[in-house]
Amino acid sequence: MTTQSSSRGLLTEDQESEIRESRAAENRTRRCTVPGLEEILYEPMPILDHGFIRVIDYMGDDAAIVQSARVSYGKGTKHTRGDAGLIDYLMRHRHTTPFEMCEIKFHVKLPIFVARQWIRHRTANVNEYSARYSVLDKEFYIPAPEHLAAQSESNRQGRGDVLHGEDAARVLDLLRDDAARCYEHYEIMLNERQDSGIIDDNRAGLARELARMNLPLNTYTQWYWKCDLHNLLHFVSLRADPHAQYEIRAYADAILETLKRWVPVTTKAFTNHVMEGVHLSGAALGVVRRLVAGEALEQGDSDLSKREWDELMAALGRNI
Amino acid sequence: MTTQSSSRGLLTEDQESEIRESRAAENRTRRCTVPGLEEILYEPMPILDHGFIRVIDYMGDDAAIVQSARVSYGKGTKHTRGDAGLIDYLMRHRHTTPFEMCEIKFHVKLPIFVARQWIRHRTANVNEYSARYSVLDKEFYIPAPEHLAAQSESNRQGRGDVLHGEDAARVLDLLRDDAARCYEHYEIMLNERQDSGIIDDNRAGLARELARMNLPLNTYTQWYWKCDLHNLLHFVSLRADPHAQYEIRAYADAILETLKRWVPVTTKAFTNHVMEGVHLSGAALGVVRRLVAGEALEQGDSDLSKREWDELMAALGRNI
Amino acid sequence: MTTQSSSRGLLTEDQESEIRESRAAENRTRRCTVPGLEEILYEPMPILDHGFIRVIDYMGDDAAIVQSARVSYGKGTKHTRGDAGLIDYLMRHRHTTPFEMCEIKFHVKLPIFVARQWIRHRTANVNEYSARYSVLDKEFYIPAPEHLAAQSESNRQGRGDVLHGEDAARVLDLLRDDAARCYEHYEIMLNERQDSGIIDDNRAGLARELARMNLPLNTYTQWYWKCDLHNLLHFVSLRADPHAQYEIRAYADAILETLKRWVPVTTKAFTNHVMEGVHLSGAALGVVRRLVAGEALEQGDSDLSKREWDELMAALGRNI
Amino acid sequence: MTTQSSSRGLLTEDQESEIRESRAAENRTRRCTVPGLEEILYEPMPILDHGFIRVIDYMGDDAAIVQSARVSYGKGTKHTRGDAGLIDYLMRHRHTTPFEMCEIKFHVKLPIFVARQWIRHRTANVNEYSARYSVLDKEFYIPAPEHLAAQSESNRQGRGDVLHGEDAARVLDLLRDDAARCYEHYEIMLNERQDSGIIDDNRAGLARELARMNLPLNTYTQWYWKCDLHNLLHFVSLRADPHAQYEIRAYADAILETLKRWVPVTTKAFTNHVMEGVHLSGAALGVVRRLVAGEALEQGDSDLSKREWDELMAALGRNI
């Protein structure tokens, strides 16, 4: 778990060889399998500068959803409605329990501040690398220049224009220097270097559980994370949303790609109904009805606030 | 889903052939597999008179627990402590999250009053056969004579001696007759018989969601039920306990047998620490310390109530 | 929704007097209180023929939601937006966690088949009357004539026209007779009558946990049920929906009335955004955009199925 | 645990005056109240150097647990057993649902590395201060000298002796300096100082959601945290345990003190059964039985590992 040496630079040689070994396995099973997902099993997809996400295991497929919805003895697809129609119906009418019947397990490497957002999704299982027990690696998230966004003026929880020139350079320098210095001091407090071992035989190192508190929030951590499909779709709907912070969105986007391989029919319905869909309030529906009826309507004539009106017009593709 | 005709009498021929088909599948996977569990995959284990439980899918094995605990890139088993030792340690010290990394899915057929106890375990996923949507089968749980227990005199929530002779016969007659009559009337209200279809073309049947309310609580239902290993062990610890009602214990016992096939190392640690273990209160521990020190102690000398004292003495195997 | 005369037979005199006593209490507290909800505290609201729901305790109010949200958003929020605006914003943008900060506890009496639907909402706390431990009361749900609906022809999970005349009378007779007979036999198996005690001193009664299986699904049970506001709104959105079975809808409607007293601002936002709102898929949104732009569009010109098209036209209030 | 002088610098004057105002409220309620808990309502209990925990709201008391349990067990319970006996029984036999019927809400200020441990308890509700939306305060946890422990030699997840002299001084200097420098750079990246506002009118500040990643894990955050009593007891049993990291234990200990005020009967049963209790495996129970029977037993004669044997002997108070 020490030096990064592979061409990918993401993993150590030991890790790469362990992954190669896992991928070489060819087991026989009576369970349903998804060849498109098997293809990428164990393989890390790089995210951000040092992070990744990789699928470790999965259970179920599109047909398993249908099978559960029908509480059937066989595989589904034999009755009046095709599987895709049924899955679309379940998605449209919020019959969420059949989607809970599929499960997936990821191994994720991610900056701690992203991990803190991620963990708010409580209906999932997690095993995180323990910084009480082990020493954290010297890896920090430093944004690529195109993601160095200024604070948004209009949205307190958002980003504005990208920083340039000196402003950008200063930020990157500060982030890099502080991370390096904090880590250097982490090692001094531990009295132990990752590369070269004990620093000074004559003194005791601070407990790991204490020393780690000196590390910044862009330090990378990693965990195993397991989630059912329903809750995973919910995660994606919130975290692949344009309002989510870019850094977690990068992970959510990768999960969405994984979903296309794993449950393509479900992912199609999800994309249509949730990702590309829109929710209208009763008041907004009233406006839409009047517009569809041909009425020329201004915000002042509606029950909508300025902000909700603008959101609605944007959804309807109307120039404002 | 109509007539029961197979030699086993548990399933229709259609169902049996669907299961045979599923079992004949031989897929290739890079995921870990558990041959001992694959052996019984899809195969119903009979429980009570018409019920069953069968494994539909699973994810993970003993090694996956170790892998998650170590947040490792490979399979585990290479470090200082063997897998079994680590699993025993995790179980002993209530490090429960690695056990959540395994998941299993069952198809269960069970009487409704058992289903009502079962569903109290909330951290699981369920799809139940819908009696709003479909007609329930004509199947009821009638206890075997050896399970026709009288109300316990000492424990309001328990069973006493088994009923015999006329007493037993009367109970069985009542249960059988009432179930048959209620079902007959269910069909009349529906204006539809499972065997022969519409009863009277000139009248409308009552909605299924209403007619079902006439059925007794021993009517069989079925569901897909999916649970992670940690929560499943908790289920087993409560429901395979002698204080659990016999009818749900029959299912929990079958699950425990399944666990031995799936995660033998974990099941061994679980059996030792949980099933055969005992929890002592601080006061009970004080008594044990004094007994171990050779003191001759009576209940009156302790801080235990008569009831807790008796429970402790029973656990210690002392004649009372 | 308020007074409840014992002539209605909903409660025993003991229960009524306990409620009177609880309602007479006047305690002082530093916690926030909601006078509108205090008014009906402990008071049973009758539902169906023998059921009720009553509020036992609560925590928080509209202001508590705002207070919790402002821990998240800090001082800035306070000045720019009023409480109602913030709550509306939270509801519109699915910021659900502040709504979890309010909690309410109900005592509910309900038929078992309703309880079985209800319990599927897992993020809640329940203590149900135990039929292993105690004898169930002789009370059954018998629908009022106007709710005796036929099975829907178009929707397998729905109701059609109301039954009349002989058809209705037959159903009511069957339900009443079977319930009475099953209960009579329940008592015989228990060897104990609720009114008059032991039936026959010379024989043992069947264990309660077994005898109860002879009771039909319209038998009443009761429980304490505690839920946070976010999950309660989710419950209401699904169970006060026209697609929900009438019998559980009756409870959900009563909860919605309770919400108006407890958290009026939240309930208003919820009604607008959720109850009266509508969700459009990406494809449906495309149709709406074209309609708003003045295009004359038929289903065949869209990407919607006939069924989804019809649902959309209904939502838009267009004659089909 | 009570008075809090602003000289301590824990709160701003605004916050203190808000708390005074809340505490001055005297509302009337029909709900049950707990005078001992009302006494400290809203009042911050200081934890660590800048943290605190304070009770914001609560629902239920010891009697509410009994009341909920009696819905389950019916009338019979009332007469045979007192409240304390019933609560002890529920605790001893893991009847956990009645304890879920009480709820409490805290406002907690805590270092981020503690927050990361805390949040692993998923069955709770949280609203955390958002560092995407607002600027974090300049407050960091710096351990008191007596908590500057060295890494344990025997337990990779524990602490050894306390550091002294130069070793301690160096650690404290590093922690203080790095925190100060990281925060200084946080402000520069934001182009905004908490005290004096915008730094340079001619440049844009980095988005808050990005700048915060430069802060170390000992930065303080705060949240509202709401939990039911059953899950809170579980939290305390794990986090007030000697194996828990000291910093979270400080919070768990304060919660335990709060519990004594809120639900004294439950806390007494919990302390006896859980905090002072011990769990014996089947193998350990076998050893205890033999010891109680007077056998002179060594580890080699038992089925216990050296480690489990030592743990057992320690529990039994035997010199090893």
List pLDDT tens digits, range A89-106.
999 999 999 999 999 999
Q: Residue D67 burial by CB count (10 A; 0-12/13-18/19+): exposed, middle or buried?
A: buried
Judged by CB atoms within 8 Å, which residues 245-284 of B form the interface with C? Answer: 245
Domain B1-141+218-277 CATH class label:
alpha beta
- For C130, the closest of D72, D222, D226 (CB atoms) is D72
Which pLDDT belongs to residue D320?
A: 56
Provide, as residue numbers in chain C, all residues whose Cβ is less than 8 Å from the Cβ of A275.
Answer: 282
- Option in C279, C284, C288 nearest A316 (CB): C288
D209/A159 Cβ within 8 A: yes
For chain D, 320 residues long, give each residue's pLDDT as a single digit of tens: 333 444 456 788 888 888 999 999 899 999 999 999 999 999 999 999 999 999 999 999 999 999 999 886 555 445 456 889 999 999 999 999 999 999 999 999 999 999 999 999 999 999 999 999 999 999 999 999 999 999 887 777 778 899 988 999 999 999 999 999 999 999 999 999 988 899 999 998 999 999 999 999 999 999 999 999 999 999 999 999 999 999 999 999 999 999 999 999 999 999 999 999 999 999 999 999 999 999 989 999 999 999 999 999 999 998 65
Contacts of B214 in chain C (CB under 8 A): 174-175, 178-179, 216-218
- CA-nearest of C62, C56, C43, C54 to C102 is C62
pLDDT of residue A101: 97
Question: Are A27 and B22 inside 8 Å of each other by CB?
Answer: no
The answer to whether B25 contacts chain A (CB < 8 Å) is yes
Least CB–CB distance from D203: residue in A116, A148, A167? A167
pLDDT digits (tens, 9 = 90+) for A290-300: 999 999 899 99
Residue B69 contacts D where some CB pair is shorter than 8 Å? no
- Return the pLDDT at B81: 58
What mean pLDDT value characterizes chain A? 92
Closest-CA distance, C62 to chain B, in angstroms, reads 29
Q: How far apart are the first and last CA of chain B?
A: 54
- Whether B85 and chain D come into contact, CB under 8 Å, resolves to yes
Q: What is the model's pTM?
A: 0.95
Size of interface A-C (CB pairs under 8 A): 81
CB interface of A with B, residues 279-318, below 8 Å:
none
- Judged by CB atoms closer than 8 Å, whether chains meet at D273 and B282 is answered as yes
Percent of chain A exceeding pLDDT 90 equals 83
**Judged by CB atoms within 8 Å, which residues 92-151 of C form the interface with A?**
92-94, 97, 120
3 state SS of B87? helix
CB-CB neighbors (< 8 A) of A85 in chain C: 305
Active site residues of C: 239
pLDDT of the residue at A159 = 85
pLDDT confidence of residue D157: 75
**Bigger pLDDT: D83 or C246?**
C246
Q: In angstroms, rounded to a whole number, what is the distance separating the alpha carbons of residues D265 and A39? A: 58
Q: What is the pLDDT of residue B75?
A: 61
What single-letter amino acid sits at B196?
S
Confidence at B71, pLDDT banded by 50, 70, 90 = confident
Kindly tell me the burial class for residue B193, based on how many C-beta atoms sit within 10 Å of its own C-beta (0-12, 13-18, 19 or more). middle
What tokens were used for B50? 């018409």
- For the segment B169-176, the average pLDDT, to the nearest whole number, is 97
Phi then psi dihedrals of residue B187, to 5 deg: -65, -40
Predicted local confidence at residue D7, as pLDDT = 40
User: Reduced to 3 states, what is the DSSP secondary structure of residue D129?
Assistant: coil
Contact B59 A25 (CB under 8 A): no
Q: Cβ C207–B150 below 8 Å, yes or no?
A: yes
D151 and A182: CB-CB below 8 Å? Answer: no
Q: Residue B156's pLDDT is what?
A: 73
Amino acid C74: pLDDT: 58
**Residue B22 DSSP one-character state:** H
Check A31, A239, A249, A261 and give the catalytic one: A239
On whether any CB of chain A is under 8 Å from the CB of C242, the answer is no
Check pLDDT > 90 for residue A156.
Answer: no
* Composition of chain C by helix, strand, coil, percent to 5: 50, 15, 35
Q: Which residue in the list D239, D261, D290, D307 is annotated as catalytic?
A: D239
Instruction: Count Cα neighbours of C115 within 13 Å in the Cβ-side half-sphere.
Output: 31
B195 at D interface, C-beta within 8 A = no
Contact call for A130 and D157, based on CB within 8 A: yes
Question: What per-residue confidence (pLDDT) applies to B319?
Answer: 67
Contacts of B57 in chain A (CB under 8 A): 31-32, 59-60, 64
State the residue for tokens 């007609």: B135
User: Are the beta carbons of B71 and A98 separated by less than 8 Å?
Assistant: no
Which of 3.90.180.10, 3.30.420.40, 3.30.43.10, 3.30.1360.170 is the CATH number of C6-139+220-275?
Answer: 3.30.1360.170
In whole angstroms, how far apart are CA A314 and each of A307, A309, A318? 11, 9, 6
Of the residues D54, D68, D102, the best mutation for testing chain C's interface (the one with the most C CB atoms within 10 Å of its CB) is: D68
Secondary structure (3-state) at C307: helix
For residue A243, give the chain C residue with the closest CA: C93
Instruction: Estimate to the nearest angstrom the gap between the alpha carbon of C161 and the chain centroid.
Output: 24
pLDDT score, position C174: 98
By CA distance, what is B13's nearest residue in A?
Answer: A73
**Span of B205-209, C221-225, D77-81 with lowest mean pLDDT:** D77-81
The answer to whether the beta carbons of residues A245 and A110 sit under 8 Å apart is no
Domain D6-136+220-275 has what CATH class? alpha beta
* Torsion angle of C-alpha atoms D203, D209, D212, D217, degrees rounded to 10: 180
By the 8 A CB rule, do B190 and B135 touch?
A: yes
Residue among D71, D97, D133 whose CB faces C73 most closely: D133
Q: Sorting pLDDT into bands at 50, 70 and 90, what band is A12? A: confident
Name every chain C residue with its beta carbon within 8 A of the beta carbon of D72: 127-130, 133
What are the pLDDT digits (tens) for C28-67? 999 999 999 999 999 999 999 999 999 999 999 999 999 9
Residue percentage of chain B with pLDDT more than 70? 94
Separation CA C215–CA C112 (nearest Å): 10
